[in-house]
Structure 1
């Protein structure tokens, strides 16, 4: 990031004259906001910031470069790059050389920084805070590339040896860490793909063993009414052990947004404060339990005689014929992000490691095994899509009659519960179009985004009619898979076939969009509402999609080369004359002008 001139306070010079006020450009203000946002986030998660880094240039192995920040927590070291460049491909390629050098020998690079005179303040702090406890080989170093603007997938593929700290991910962790402070670091380490056993004292082998024991009970399928193979276990666990292993599938998070199950809301700060006040004042646990899921391969169950209960791939306990509730010792691995909280995230995370007036009292409660948890163990052979669908349905059942879950949230869950619907397929397709291609990064995906193309009308009036599982003008018609009619069944569950259709649909739509873009001038292929030349909006995109529907109906669809040749001259087409309800008419006029 370019160095930003900091505003100076009003004061007098030696001659008594008042210093002129520094006026910052809009870009400089944005740069300051970006860096402050991330620094505040890292501080909330418990990281320390290395002093005197801020854009200082250096020459390392013949390569001149700079870093914007260095943050560290125990043995985790993050080298941060901030950028406000909208088209980052050239910037990334230029940075790739230094990133390659760092990745090949991260310890050697940090050793270099420690010996450079200009980094002396950093060297002194880093020596005392990190190297006094860990060797260079024990450090977990990551390069984070923080862009304020979305980076298309094809640009990210140019440099694949760094972690892209995309702005939506920054905003997600910012909202989480603002509430639960240092406890957010566990999910952040999972995002960075740093294993639990590589962090802090764990890497020295001095932490607690590879698994912890918790006492509880097993509830057989006969008592739970769940499908065969779904084991229910109830046990007591301390908050510290639960939180370091937990994750929540929240909307607008960083996990795979294509999957079912990203349904839970962000933390409600006021609710969390009231829960912490309760813990502080009452000094006792909440009376209701927390509902979670746990991978069966991350736990071991033992009976009263300390005999391990062997669970096969179908979820059947092979060496026990018990059909009643039986006591058990559940041994859970020390691995981050393995316990998925379905219900009770606020009650669990109220024990977070914070800095408020309640922290001293809650810290004492955090290590006491007094949280009652009901865990669902899936069979090993259960598909992930089915697991997530089950979780979303269970969440909806629990919250159906409660005020806690908003109507919009419940509707979102119900929407995801029907993954074979045309609407769900359309949402997948628009997400993929937003990741890469001619419309990459142009669609609104997050609640805080502004000046992007809203997707509701595109899904309703463009994609849903195009992607329906019948009809003469649907992509489904030209899909040649002989098993495709399976998707029409009421109880369809062939997720592999569904994924194939979704990917085929993305490719077909992207083909015609590529041809449109290649035939339209750059000053028009924009979504800027204030620019009279810009044509990209809901109406235009739906018009293009409707043109593809007509082409399929007439048997005139093709590949990129075919579309590109046919659309020669489309730059002069009057897109501006069509109103929001005239998608079909625009599509028909494009067809008549360039394909008929």
Structure 2
């Protein structure tokens, strides 16, 4: 018998095969993310149906209780507005014809009829998620045109996929926070209003805690199950766009080891979990009278009342010890052992109670400082995490402002999604050195003597900004990002070939820092100018950004900026010395 000759594929066929595998992996990732969280998946692919004025097909449908999630994936180009517009219109028709939609589901999936008709139409929470295999090249303004869609960027999908692999059903609470859902909106309408009553908590006297800002500290025991249902973590690399994030992602191997320990030993950890308690907690005396936190005496006999509302208890330290108790499918290795332990095991918790009038920025500053103090000696904290925490501790610092400007630039056209702001980002521009060695000096509100920054040219309310007014700070950050984006748009257009070639050095930290420093140094004589001004000057700059020819190293930011100023902005050697 002759051996069958193996078919030789052309290069085009090989590329097509690779693309098909990537697309299959991408779609599997979407589906597994939601099924790992406990959602029921419906096989809707290739099922077309007419609803309203359109014929539609759903790539995905996931249901958990009354939360319905429709998913649409795209493996095409990163900015297909026609595709997005069509899906936005299709979703509008579904929402406007919910009775027909539910009837179609019942007819098409009779085996899941009970699940579909479990809740009244007015109780169903319907969302449309748009997943893109490529990084979506949409600015915030462009996304706002399709506000009925929720765009899941590649890093958002990566985050929820990773979390669902680590802690399974417990990831649902994070998803519900992402969707803005509260307890009373999930399940039956009578599902809210529960509370945990903790008898005889330990309330520490103010004079032994070291706090002089009205913050009170209380310790108590709480079941793992109730902690899972009420807690959330400000992870720096998650889906949120907030300055107040400081914790690292969950480590899968660490969770597995703790879960194995729990299953084998059947006992809880006795070291403290540190949390920030919500403003809704209260104390009651033995007669049921409410006692304000600031009126609590030393170790006073009372009860601590904690509302059982999800995403209200902020975990500062101990997330792995809590989430190792996660709920998983019945066939998970340790679930049958862990399930009763979730209710049985109580963890030692120390909670911070903030004064009602304490600013959010001051609360998060204190939380991040505690996190850093606990963890800095246990494990090396990455440079970007340190920069991020420094920006939380002092939002008006040059580093704090620079960090937020980078986040804003990452959502504007020139640098859209190019910066590495998350541990989930791969192959993007690292920001720590850009902030530390260049950008901080351009956006600082306290430039060194004889120096200038963008603050000198901002015509906003500087007094309010210096008084830490968040609205004024946001306006200044927008001002900085807008002008830096304009400047770099001329760099992009002047060196378009290099900009679009990932093998060149134009988007390296060295080159970007050189351009930033040059921009800052030319502010004194030129001020802030328009696109045509920068364009007319930068075209005189002669630089080969190829990997082999670019002459500057990481320590030569200022040297490169001097070449830019000399060739593009006609600075003399004397002028270079002066700035």
Deviation per residue, 1:126-150 (Å, 9 max, x gap):
313332x323332221111112313
Distance 1:484 1:26, change over 3 A: farther
Distance 1:466 1:209, change over 3 A: closer
Q: Is residue 435 of structure 2 the alignment partner of residue 459 of structure 1?
A: yes
1:584 match: 561
2:23 match: 31
C-alpha contact (below 8 Å) 1:545/1:587 kept by paired residues: no
- Where structure 1 has 5 or more consecutive residues not aligned to the other structure, the ranges are 1-15
Within a 5 Å distance, the mapping from 1:435-446 to structure 2 comes to 435-446=411-422
Residue in structure 2 matching 1:478, options 447, 457, 478: 457
Bigger drift between 375-384 and 210-219 goes to 210-219
1:176 match: 163
The count of aligned residue pairs is: 547
Shift of 1:59: 3.3
1:10 match: none
Deviation per residue, 1:140-185 (Å, 9 max, x gap):
2111111231343222112011222221111111222211111111
Residue in structure 1 matching 2:327, options 334, 353, 363: 353
1:3 match: none
Residue in structure 2 matching 1:283, options 248, 266, 272: 266
C-alpha contact (below 8 Å) 2:173/2:229 kept by paired residues: yes
Within a 5 Å distance, the mapping from 1:385-424 to structure 2 comes to 385-401=361-377, 403-404=378-379, 406=381, 411-412=386-387, 415-416=390-391, 417-424=393-400
Q: Is residue 484 of structure 2 the alignment partner of residue 512 of structure 1?
A: no
Within a 5 Å distance, the mapping from 1:63-74 to structure 2 comes to 63-74=54-65
Within a 5 Å distance, the mapping from 1:257-272 to structure 2 comes to 257-259=242-244, 262-272=245-255
Deviation per residue, 1:199-226 (Å, 9 max, x gap):
22xx241x47433322223334233221
- Provide the rounded CA distance (Å) in 1 between the counterparts of 2:571 and 2:52: 56
Deviation per residue, 1:422-453 (Å, 9 max, x gap):
22222211111111232212222233434433
Distance 1:574 1:29, change over 3 A: farther
Distance 1:108 1:212, change over 3 A: farther
1:91 match: 83
- Provide the rounded CA distance (Å) in 2 between the counterparts of 1:398 and 1:56: 53
1:212 match: 196
- Provide the rounded CA distance (Å) in 2 between the counterparts of 1:455 and 1:228: 34
- Provide the rounded CA distance (Å) in 1 between the counterparts of 2:30 and 2:499: 30
- Provide the rounded CA distance (Å) in 2 between the counterparts of 1:283 and 1:456: 43
Q: Is residue 362 of structure 2 the alignment partner of residue 370 of structure 1?
A: no
Within a 5 Å distance, the mapping from 1:177-192 to structure 2 comes to 177-192=164-179
C-alpha contact (below 8 Å) 1:425/1:502 kept by paired residues: yes
Distance 1:289 1:447, change over 3 A: closer
- Provide the rounded CA distance (Å) in 1 between the counterparts of 2:533 and 2:383: 45
Bigger drift between 422-431 and 99-108 goes to 99-108
Within a 5 Å distance, the mapping from 1:216-231 to structure 2 comes to 216-231=201-216
Q: Is residue 502 of structure 2 the alignment partner of residue 526 of structure 1?
A: no
Shift of 1:483: 4.1
Bigger drift between 426-435 and 444-453 goes to 444-453
Distance 1:397 1:454, change over 3 A: closer
Shift of 1:541: 3.6
2:220 match: 235
Distance 1:465 1:26, change over 3 A: same
Within a 5 Å distance, the mapping from 1:195-206 to structure 2 comes to 195-200=182-187, 203-205=188-190
- Provide the rounded CA distance (Å) in 1 between the counterparts of 2:321 and 2:437: 42
Question: Matched residue of 2:103: which SS?
Answer: helix
- Provide the rounded CA distance (Å) in 1 between the counterparts of 2:246 and 2:198: 29
- Where structure 2 has 5 or more consecutive residues not aligned to the other structure, the ranges are none
Question: Matched residue of 1:330: which SS?
Answer: strand
- Provide the rounded CA distance (Å) in 1 between the counterparts of 2:501 and 2:49: 39
C-alpha contact (below 8 Å) 1:140/1:194 kept by paired residues: no
Q: Is residue 551 of structure 2 the alignment partner of residue 574 of structure 1?
A: no
Shift of 1:63: 1.9
Distance 1:570 1:554, change over 3 A: closer
- Provide the rounded CA distance (Å) in 1 between the counterparts of 2:208 and 2:484: 49
- Provide the rounded CA distance (Å) in 2 between the counterparts of 1:438 and 1:124: 50
- Provide the rounded CA distance (Å) in 1 between the counterparts of 2:363 and 2:301: 26
Q: Is residue 58 of structure 2 the alignment partner of residue 79 of structure 1?
A: no
TM-score normalised by L of structure 2: 0.85
1:325 match: 299
- Provide the rounded CA distance (Å) in 1 between the counterparts of 2:8 and 2:52: 41
C-alpha contact (below 8 Å) 1:50/1:125 kept by paired residues: no
Q: Is residue 283 of structure 2 the alignment partner of residue 306 of structure 1?
A: no
